[in-house]
Amino acid sequence: MSTPPSAAPRHAPATLRNREPILAVLRRVLPPSGIVLEIASGTGEHAVFFAASLPALVWQPSDPDPAARASIAAHAAAAGAGNIRPPLALDASQPWPDLAVDAVLCVNMIHIAPWEATEGLMRGAAAVLPPGGPLYLYGPFRRAGRHTADSNAVFDRMLRAQDPRWGVRDLEAVAGLAAAHGFGAPDVVEMPANNLSVTFRRA
């Protein structure tokens, strides 16, 4: 894919709010070294921050959106980070490239995409991870059939109005899908603003 002429770095203010709490969990769940495949990197701000904070890891960002990939590349170039690879064009719901990585991370994607993206995420992560390799998810989830906060219920309605295939996912449904793809039970951490960190490990 070529880089569009308007290759300006984009900004998502939420990344500034959630990156430190996410990093604290990543320090525990990611391996000490190796390659981290980030699905749905968006602006690339997380990629640059996590790569700088975890210099023994190599960060492989990705996004299906060419404008997002241009933003990721622009942020990486501005940061001068040596441990970020050029972004891959990867749609989680489509066949993945032939990769071998040590961890997979996906922040704020599965509720803003059709369920097929979650299915593809599980299928793809199971194929690229070694035994014991972590799949880290972050975002809002329903638990036991309920939203965990009124604000998440409002957000869910807004998402479904925008696209009926989107919506805050049930943690149990995601965990069931993960189990069907050979992942163990999730390690769940409650995060600020009613989000969860959910880490699965490949059996």
Candidate residues 7, 10, 12, 173; the one interacting with ligand SAM per rule CB under 6 A:
12
Candidate residues 72, 84, 107, 168; the one interacting with ligand SAM per rule CB under 6 A:
107
Kindly state the number of chain residues that form the binding site for ligand SAM, as judged by CB under 6 A.
Answer: 21
- Which of 83/93 has CB closer to ligand SAM? 93
Packed helices 45-53 and 66-79: angle between N→C axes, nearest 10 degrees: 40
Minimum CB separation of residue 144 from ligand SAM in Å reads 25
Q: Which residues pair with 199 in a beta bridge?
A: 136, 187
Decide if 116 contacts 177 (C-beta within 8 A): no
Alpha-carbon Rg of the chain, whole angstroms? 16
Q: Counting contacts by CB under 6 A, is residue 92 touching ligand SAM? A: yes
**Nearest Cα residue to 63 out of 35, 47, 46, 42:** 42
Distance between alpha carbon 154 and the CA centroid of its chain, in Å?
22
Structure token digits, residue 104: 């997979």
Packed helices 45-53 and 13-29: angle between N→C axes, nearest 10 degrees: 40
Q: Counting contacts by CB under 6 A, is residue 40 touching ligand SAM? A: yes
Q: Counting contacts by CB under 6 A, is residue 88 touching ligand SAM? A: no
Q: Counting contacts by CB under 6 A, is residue 51 touching ligand SAM? A: no
Minimum CB separation of residue 145 from ligand SAM in Å reads 24
Which positions lie near ligand SAM, rule CB under 6 A?
12, 15, 39-43, 46, 63-65, 68, 91-93, 107-109, 112-113, 117
